[in-house]
Amino acid sequence: MTVIVRDLRPDDRADVEAFAHARHLALPYILWTPEGILHNLNHTHPDARYRSLVAEEDGETIGTAQVRLAYDSPEPGQGDLNIYVRPDRTHRGAGRLLVRAAEEHLAACGATKLFAWVLDEPDNRAFAERHGYRASRSAHFLRLDLANGGLPPLQDLPPGVELRRAADFADDPRPMFELDAETTSDEPSDIDAELTDYDTWIEETWQHPLLDLDLTSVAVVDGRPAAFTAAYTDRATRYATAMTGTARAHRGRGLAKLAKNDSLHRARAAGYKEAFTGNDTDNEPMLAINRWFGYEICATEVRHVRELG
Ligand SMILES: CC(C)(COP(=O)(O)OP(=O)(O)OC[C@H]1O[C@@H](n2cnc3c(N)ncnc32)[C@H](O)[C@@H]1OP(=O)(O)O)[C@@H](O)C(=O)NCCC(=O)NCCS
């Protein structure tokens, strides 16, 4: 009954599947597939010093951690550790060991400010506080029943606006990179992100195995992408929004709704049964959009921060 912590073994398919399963049990509002987990491990920029950790008890994966430096933030010295123990395997010491291993790694890489998402339940919050973390911003997970719920009807296109798919930009995704970079920098968050390197974006984001280029919808104005919604799918029944954004010059004209509605209608037609998304609790425009679609809040998580002395 000894719990040990070690790195995920990327060449061991069963190990990666066990990681995905443990994550799914702890956090079912996010799509966890072996391919997505391996992609993050193998293709996150080397400066992130990314690691996936496993807590194992008697050969069983009971907890997981993803740990990285926020290398793409303009503020140096920030790192994040996201730790989830299987809900049916808590109170065995896995969380404590994962926190210790993750903090040691981040501190050795020079991080002084550590961020962790914590599901908003009393035990989890008490655990974070005992480890020296204080609560910061919060975010909701939201779910839409695509199979049984109704979607708003498809809207008419405003004059000068066309709808395309990300796949239409496969030959030259740079305009999509520019839109993603502009809108990501405006997303409310504890850690400011700046997407500056196109090649890194191609490798980390555009080539992510969960990204569905056909179901990712883009509203185009004067030939340039003005708004988009990025669709992740498990290629079976579950759909999740990775990002929705509208260029600053085009906000408040209904373009985010237009792009996301197009994507959700096509996802439903393709057989997807449920859709997930996540929003900062202060992101009023995005929460308003998601309420309009019928999404319902299914869980809340709270960012916790620890400053290393
Ligand atoms: C959030 C964002 C995508 C909205 O894009 P947009 O094209 O302006 O959105 P739309 O015009 O389609 O719809 C906006 C809705 O929010 C509502 N809204 C705007 N500001 C609001 C506020 N402060 N409080 C409540 N509702 C608000 C609008 O009234 C509109 O709803 P309506 O059509 O019922 O009037 C855009 O602001 C953005 O790119 N933000 C930065 C990136 C980001 O945060 N993305 C979300 C990540 S989860």
pLDDT digits (tens, 9 = 90+) for 41-78: 999 999 999 999 999 999 999 999 999 999 989 899 99
Q: If you measure from the C-alpha of residue 247 to the centroid of ligand 1, how many angstroms do you get, rounded to a whole number?
A: 11
Q: Which of 260, 261, 286 most suits a substitution to test ligand 1, by most atoms within 8 Å of the C-beta?
A: 286
pLDDT cut 90: percent of the chain above it: 95
Q: pLDDT digit string (tens) for 211-260?
A: 999 999 999 999 999 999 999 999 999 999 999 999 999 999 999 999 99
Q: Report which ligand 1 atom has the smallest distance to the Cα of 248.
A: 39
d(CA 244, CA 84): 26
Q: What is the pLDDT of residues 141-190, one digit of tens each?
A: 999 999 998 899 999 999 999 999 999 999 999 999 999 999 999 999 88
Q: Do domains 3-111 and 144-299 have the same CATH topology?
A: yes
Indicate the length of the chain as a whole number: 309
Using the mean position of ligand 1's atoms as its centre, give its distance from the Cα of residue 251 in Å.
7
**pLDDT for res 252:** 97
pLDDT at 245: 98
Nearest Cα residue to atom 3 of ligand 1? 245
CATH number of 144-299: 3.40.630.30
| C-beta of residue 172 within 8 angstroms of C-beta of residue 202 | no
The per-residue pLDDT of the chain, averaged, comes to 97
How far does the centroid of ligand 1 lie from the alpha carbon of residue 246, in Å?
A: 8
Eight-state DSSP code of residue 241: E
Cβ-Cβ contacts under 8 Å for 299 (sequence gap 6 or more): 29, 119, 120, 140, 141
Among 157, 180, 251, 282, name the best residue to mutate to test ligand 1's pocket (greatest count of ligand atoms within 8 A of Cβ). 251
For the domain spanning 3-111, the CATH number is: 3.40.630.30
At 286 the pLDDT is 98
Domain boundary assignment for the chain: 3-111, 144-299
275: its two tokens: 């859709």
Please give the DSSP secondary-structure letter assigned to residue 116.
E
pTM of the complete model: 0.95
Q: Report the pLDDT averaged over residues 106-129.
A: 97
Atom number of ligand 1 nearest to Cα 258: 12
Look at ligand 1, atom 26, and give the residue with the nearest C-alpha: 285
Give the per-residue pLDDT at 8: 98
User: Measured between alpha carbons, how far is 117 from 124 in angstroms, rounded to an integer?
Assistant: 10
| 245: nearest Cα among 264, 262, 259 | 259
Residue 288 three-state SS: helix
309: pLDDT strictly greater than 90: no
Provide the 10 A C-beta neighbour count for residue 74.
12
With a cut of 80, say whether residue 209 has pLDDT above it. Answer: yes
The residue to mutate among 141, 176, 183, 184, having the most atoms of ligand 1 within 8 angstroms of its beta carbon, is 183
Q: Are 186 and 194 in contact (CB under 8 A)?
A: no
pLDDT for 106: 98
Whether 284 is in the pocket of ligand 1, judged by its Cβ within 6 Å, is: yes
Q: Which atom of ligand 1 is nearest to the CA of 187?
A: 44
